[in-house]
Amino acid sequence: MTVKVVADNWLRDDSIDDFVAAASELVDETMAKDEGCIAYGLWRDSADPMHLTVLEEWVSQDALDKHIASEHFQRLFPAFGAAADPAKPGTVTIYEAV
């Protein structure tokens, strides 16, 4: 059963470039290295340029768990929190098919 992830991030104005650089590298590394990744991309909210979302799809929860444990995720994910708007903390929602 596939798993979908929506990781919403609201950013500080001064952190957009750093966030996009880290997120783009994470997308590239994930697509190249993580077995079981169906889709992984960075998207900007057309109504709010400070709201960026990573949309993911995995073949299983196990594949997602391995991604979270990967070197590139562990190295790059802290940049997400560092770029966050403290007034709007990010959220991660994991969806399973029904």
Phi, psi of 70 (to 5 degrees): -65, 155
Q: Note the pLDDT tens digit of each residue in 22-33.
A: 999 999 999 999
Instruction: List 80's β-bridge partners, or say none.
Output: none
State the DSSP string of 1-51: --EEEEEEEEB-GGGHHHHHHHHHHHHHHHHHH-TTEEEEEEEEETTEEEE
Residues 38-90: tens digit of each pLDDT = 999 999 999 999 999 999 999 999 999 999 999 999 999 999 999 999 999 89
- Quick one: pLDDT at residue 32? 97
Check: pTM over 0.75? Answer yes or no: yes
Q: Is 83 exposed, middle or buried (0-12, 13-18, 19+ CB in 10 A)?
A: buried
